[in-house]
Every structure is written in C-alpha cells, then in structure tokens.
Amino acid sequence: MSGDENQARDRALRELYEAFPYPLAVADLGGFLDGSLEPVWSPKTSFPTFYPEEEPREDLDILIAGCGTNAAPIMAATMPHARVVGIDISTASLEISAASAKKGGLKNLELVQLAIEDVESLGRDFDFVLCEGVLHHLADPVLGLDMLGKVTRPQGAILVMVYAQYGRTGLYMLQDLCRQLGLGVDESSAKQAQALLAALPASHPFRLIHPAGGALITLEEVADMLLNPRDIAYRVPDVRAFVEASGLRFHRWLGNAEYRPEFSALAKAGLLEGTRNMDPWEAAAAAELSHGNLCQHKFVVTHPGRKTAAELFQGEALGRAVPSLAAQLKVEDAGINVALTNGAHQVPVRVIAPKAELVPKLRAIDGKRALAELDVDLEFFRNLYHADVIQLSLPQR
C-alpha cells in the first residue's frame, strides 16, 4: 500500500474514533475505586503474570497506549498508587476519559493526545504498558510495538491484544459486504450496518461474536467492527512473526490454557500424540485451530534480557515457585469432585479433580510458601498453572 493510501486510512481511522468514540464510557468508576470490580489481567490482580521474578508492588509507572474512552481511568482507579498515562489519537475519546477521571476524583492519571508511533516524545519510560485493540489498526503494527518497547523499562512488561482471525471470520465477511455496499465512516452508514447486524440469521458466523437477539448493537461498536478502515487479524504463527520482527520477546499467553492442546478438542479426540513433538508455537497453533472461535490474542512481551515464564519454571525451579490463586478463578461443586475454571478465558476450560484431595491443597496456598513446602504433586500443579487455575512467582530473594 502506498504512502498516500496509508495516510488516507490514518485520517479515516481518526475520523472514525472522533465520530464514534469506542469503547463506551464507564459511567461510574465506584466499583473500581472500592475494589469490588477489577480489570482482567491487570498488575493489581495478576502481578506474577507479568513479573514472576518480583515481589508484588503497586507503585508502577503505567502507559495505556491507545486508551480509548475508559481503559486509562479504570487502571488509575484500580491502582491508586500507580502513575498512569493514557495516550490516544482521538480528542473525543480523551475528553470522555477526562470526564470519567474528574467524576471519580482521580489524581494519578495524565491524558495526552498522541499516536503510538510518537510515544518516545513523552520522554518517559514505564514498568507496564497496556495496548489492547490498537496495534492491529496501525499502518505498521511492528513499528508500533517496537516504539512501545523503547519506552518500556528493562524489567517491564507489555500486555498486547490483537484480533484473532478465525473467530472473527463472520465479521470480516460483513466488512467486505459493507465495502461492497459503499458504506463509509458516517452516522448514516453506521445505522445501515446496525440494521444489517440485527437482521442476520442466527446461523451467520458473525453470531460467534454476538449471538442473535437482544438490544441493537450500539453505533459505536458497529462502526468499530464493520466500518474500520484498517483491521489486521492474526493467527498464532502471525503473532510469532509479529513479536519477533519487533525485536522484543514473547513472555506468555493470557491465558495459557487456550493455547495448549491438552485443553482442547484434540485431547477429547485422542489426538494428543500428534502434538507431542511440536514446539510451543506449533502446539498453540494446533490448539487455536481446534477451538476455531478465538476472537483475540492476548499475550505479554518483554525485552530479550528477561526470562520467559516457561524458562523460569522449568525443571527443579518449579518446586521453588510460590503459587497463588488466579484472580478470575471459579470453583464449582461437582459432587465428589470440584470443577475449576478461569473466568478470563474465551474458551471454557474445566479442570475436574476429587474434592477431598484438591480443596485442602488449594486452601493451603497462601502466596508465601513454595510448592515444595506444600507437599503437593509438582506436575499436577504445573498443569493447574497451565490451566490458569494458579499463578506462579519466583521472586529473587
């Protein structure tokens, strides 16, 4: 694509988020301020996920890159001891964020109108960078991730979310249809696309994202989904190429279980043997294909100097790891068994084990004692970690 075409799409993208700021604003930050609500996969609730080598702390410098209307106020409200900076290209989105911050009395949030490609002009660096749903809209996503790496501290972490190709197949069919109909970035087009979504049959692949029935999808979400001038989707191999091209290092998936064949239909079909010799990327790609409905990929990247989660907990190091329960853990009574799930998963993954054996072991987890001190089956607890039932940390004492 030529430079002129990219510039035209950049202008259209800015116009879209000025006319249809998205996601919708948070009307009340009270739940995030009092701790009754918490964002999924945040440093507050899942510190070991991002910094398994460190003791938990909250005085972080945090960048929300492409903050939209609510991500920055939510993070600032959730982590009052952190210093949060939100950047976005949309004036309308920043104004909504500022209004939410003012209403919530936030004093630890700074908002700046700035493109990710220009983030170095802030003249600051960060412990944690959150960039969800943004890089796939850039003309050069690799450049965007590279720029975020340049403002991330050596021991810092970047949480990235990009769209996944397979689960959004129906949505991309509708994007093609909207282009054929000549729909643009304006209110009239958004209303026509909104009517189209309401009329779709329950069998349309788009219904993987939005089931049939219920209220009309908002114009803001319709515009973001169907009228976006640039929308790049990724498969697992594309994520690998994307991260490697940026010069950063893949740390782990969020969550792990969705990218492991043993928690997919491959296990139920007795086909795990065919995945035994796969490397982690190949296994993750096989799991993605078997699920078929992942709509996004969330993962953590770091500087090359940091060890990955897999490296930290390999071999005998696992026994020294300190477990804690996952923030989104759900425990369901299943008679003599107990079923464990993680509410952050896109694809439900259930771990079922005898209640009498597992519950006392889970209750013994206090976030202080290592696995070796808890007298547990290490390999079983490695599987609980892979299933996102527990978190693991290996702080350098």
**One domain for residues 154 and 236:** yes
| 251 vs 299: CA distance, rounded Å | 7
**One domain for residues 162 and 173:** no
| 181 vs 187: CA distance, rounded Å | 15
Using the 3D structure, point to which of 273, 295, 310 is the last residue of a domain: 310
Using the 3D structure, point to which of 255, 281, 310 is the last residue of a domain: 310
Q: Could you tell me where the beta strands, DSSP code E, fall in the chain?
A: 61-65, 83-88, 109-113, 126-132, 152-163, 249-253, 296-302, 322-325, 329-334, 337-342, 351-354, 390-393
**Residue 105, helix vs strand vs coil:** coil
Check residue 384 and give its pLDDT: 95
Using the 3D structure, point to which of 265, 289, 310 is the last residue of a domain: 310
pLDDT at 27 over 80: no
Inter-residue contact 12 to 224 (CB < 8 Å): no
Check residue 2 and give its pLDDT: 66
CATH of the domain at 266: 3.40.50.150
**One domain for residues 293 and 344:** no
| 49 vs 128: CA distance, rounded Å | 12
Averaged pLDDT, 112-134: 97
Count of structural domains, the chain: 3
pLDDT at 25 over 80: no
**One domain for residues 207 and 300:** no
**One domain for residues 240 and 221:** no
Check residue 212 and give its pLDDT: 81
pLDDT at 375 over 90: no
Angle subtended at Cα 121 by Cα 297 and Cα 40, rounded to the nearest 5 degrees: 30
**One domain for residues 181 and 146:** no
User: What is each CA distance from 78 to 65, 138, 157, 389, in whole angstroms?
Assistant: 17, 28, 18, 22
**One domain for residues 79 and 137:** yes
**One domain for residues 189 and 279:** no
**One domain for residues 67 and 95:** yes
**One domain for residues 97 and 175:** no
Condensed to tens digits (0 to 9), the pLDDT of residues 189-224 reads 999 999 999 999 999 999 989 988 777 899 999 999
**One domain for residues 162 and 305:** yes
The residue among 316 and 150 whose pLDDT is bigger is: 150
Residue 52 phi, psi (nearest 5): -65, -15
Pairing state of beta strands 61-65 and 126-132?
parallel
**Residue 23, helix vs strand vs coil:** coil
Range of the domain at 175: 167-226
**One domain for residues 147 and 17:** yes
